[in-house]
Amino acid sequence: MQADLRSLKPVEVTTEIFDDAHRLVVHEKKSLQPVQTEGVLTLSSIVPLENVRLWSPDYPNLYTLEVSVTQDGLLLDQYQQKLGIRYFHFDARNGFYLNGQRTEIKGVCLHSDFGVLGTAYQYSAMVRQLKLLKQMGCNAIRTAHNPPAPGMLDLCDSMGFLVMDEAFDMWQKKKTKYDYSKDFALWHKRDLEDQIKRDRRHPSVFLWSIGNEIREQFDTSGIRLTNELVAIVKALDSTRPVTAAMTETHAAKNNIAKAGALDILGFNYKIDQYDSLALNFPGKALIASETVSALQTRGMYKDGVINETVAKMKDSIIYMPYGPKQKFAPNINGDWTLSAYDKIAAYWGTNHENAWRAVKSRPFIAGTFVWTGIDYLGEPVPFPYPARSSYYGIIDQAGLPKDIYYFYQSEWTDKPVLHLLPHWNWQQGQLIDVWCYYNQADQVELFLNGRSLGTRKKGDGNKHPGDNEFHVNWQVPFEKGTLKVVAYKNGKEVRRELVKTAGIPSNIQVIVDSSTFRGY
């Protein structure tokens, strides 16, 4: 309300609420008495809204609230706000419930950059990123590890994403020389309060995270700071739970959890310890706040050529030796690339299939946030310069899906999926590792130039080593032509996919996927 209003006479408050089709569903006019507290005039009113259309990732129903305040015929203030209405809770045994329905959180961690476009917020680039993730089946975003751009939250509201809104990557104890720890003492209270005040209006925000892999886990200062930060959040928003992304899975050693202030306990990686979490932290709701850290380059299949070395480890995860004892991994492919197969992970993580299996099979884990949804600038694990961006993404920096994208689409959506890899340009006679992700089919059959190479069924690993509940594979001697996979349901073909040997390039075609562009 205008600061120069000296009179505390009653004011007229008109409240209107419109639905998504801009139909007026509430119109109410009240005479209210302003209350002055510490120089600020406030008004309070409850407006009923009937036959509510609830907000969810599947149905992101939004209303528009419009409020105007007048006094003696003079307009004093106007306000407009998008509204989404939903209710939820976490259960220590059965995970997450949204609007009364158990909902698996199928999330990704997302860094705030757009590849070659840089780190400044770009509306159209953000829309494209979120569309790709939505089509993959993703329903949640963790803002790793800083508050997001306001425009991103607007899009998450309208496109349907749950958001873990994360504040800090460090507190008082530093991770790097010039990080936020230098400013934490003076700025953390104001920064956190500003974040909560700014973002609490968004229906997409369902969790506040006060930190990621905070080093105060390991000393008693973690108890004091956790209680302080949670109190700051709760003073401004008591409607949403507070979590932190932690690494210490032993209750006696985890001083952030020991504070007893967190509503939800988030744990990064450590999938082999999930079952012990329920014992170490009895009665606490749990979420896999960061998982996977697998490493892939889109379209690179050099290890698909099966030789003696690769054949022995082709069904195993190759952990890149990047850590305290060896800072960088060797440039194994000679061009700073890594395999596009789901075989390689950083030493603290695992491959995508293992990580999802661990969450999917445990209802008490509310869901997962994969590290990461999209490749980002920096952290080029496991290589040094000239590598300059990450390999973790399900989607690369150009916004092109890697093969693992279709694994998630086959698991996280009801869309029919059939995806074959790798490409079909090799040397005559080379033995090639061929993979297929699929769903909504009983089995798939592979053909090379019209000849059947046999059927495969997920979960049939005893018959065909390398097959599991998520993908099937064949070892195929290369010959030029067409590789075709056919999916069958109840004995009938339901879809097919072809991969052909490419010839000499004849032209380049550029297709723009949007007719409009907005940069803000």
With a CB cutoff of 8 Å and minimum separation 6, the contacts of 150 are: 198, 199
At residue 185, the 3 state secondary structure works out as helix
Q: Alpha-carbon Rg of the chain, whole angstroms?
A: 26
3-state secondary structure of 176: coil
Helix axis angle for 404-412 and 352-360, nearest 10°, is 20
Give the pLDDT of residue 26. 95
So what's the pLDDT on residue 40? 75
Q: What is d(CA 474, CA 457) in angstroms, rounded to the nearest whole number?
A: 11
DSSP assignment of 236-298: H-SSS-EEEEE----TTT-HHHHT---SEEEEES-GGGHHHHHHHSTT-EEEEEEEE-B---T
- Strand pairing report for 95-98 and 101-102: antiparallel
Name residue 140's amino acid: A
Residues 6+ apart with CB under 8 A from 400: 298
**Residue 163 to residue 153: CA distance in whole angstroms:** 8
Residue 182 phi/psi, 5-degree rounding, is -70, -25
Q: Do the beta carbons of residue 289 and residue 249 sit within 8 Å?
A: no
Q: Which residues are catalytic?
A: 213, 290
Answer whether 300's CB lies under 8 Å from 338's CB. Answer: yes
Q: How many beta carbons lie within 10 A of that of residue 211, not counting itself?
A: 25
pLDDT in tens, the chain (520 residues): 444 444 678 999 999 999 999 999 999 999 988 888 777 778 788 888 899 999 999 999 999 999 999 999 899 999 999 999 999 999 999 999 999 999 999 999 999 899 989 999 999 999 999 999 999 999 999 999 999 999 999 999 999 999 999 999 999 999 999 999 999 999 999 999 999 999 999 999 999 999 999 999 999 999 999 999 999 999 999 999 999 999 999 999 999 999 999 999 999 999 999 999 999 999 999 999 999 999 999 999 987 776 533 333 344 677 665 555 556 777 777 889 999 999 999 989 999 999 999 999 999 999 999 999 999 999 998 888 899 999 999 999 999 999 999 999 999 999 999 999 999 999 999 999 999 999 999 999 999 999 999 999 998 766 787 789 999 999 999 999 999 999 999 999 999 999 999 999 899 998 887 777 887 7
Chain centroid offset of residue 498 CA: 31
Backbone angles phi, psi at 152, to 5 degrees: -65, -40
Whole-angstrom distance, CA of residue 191 vs CA of residue 211: 13
221's tokens: 């200062």
Tokens of 511: 């297709």
Q: How far apart are CA 303 and CA 309, in angstroms?
A: 10
Whole-number pLDDT of residue 1: 42
The domains of the chain, with CATH numbers, are 11-83 (2.60.40.10), 88-295+347-412 (3.20.20.80), 418-500 (2.60.40.10)
| Residue among 480, 491, 423 nearest 455 (CA) | 491
Q: In what order do the strands lie in the sheet with 418-421?
A: 418-421, 431-438, 472-477
Question: How many CA atoms, within 13 angstroms, populate the side-chain half-sphere of residue 208?
Answer: 31
**Exposed/middle/buried for 126, CB within 10 Å: 0-12, 13-18, 19+?**
buried
Query: Is the Cβ–Cβ distance between 141 and 176 less than 8 Å?
Result: no
DSSP letter for each residue of 31-68: EE--EEETTEEE--------S---B-SSSB--EEEEEE
Tokens read off for 359:
């969450």
Q: State the pLDDT at residue 311.
A: 34
The vertex-374 CA angle with 370 and 376, nearest 5°, equals: 115
CB-based contacts of 56, cutoff 8 Å, min separation 6: 86, 98, 99, 103, 160
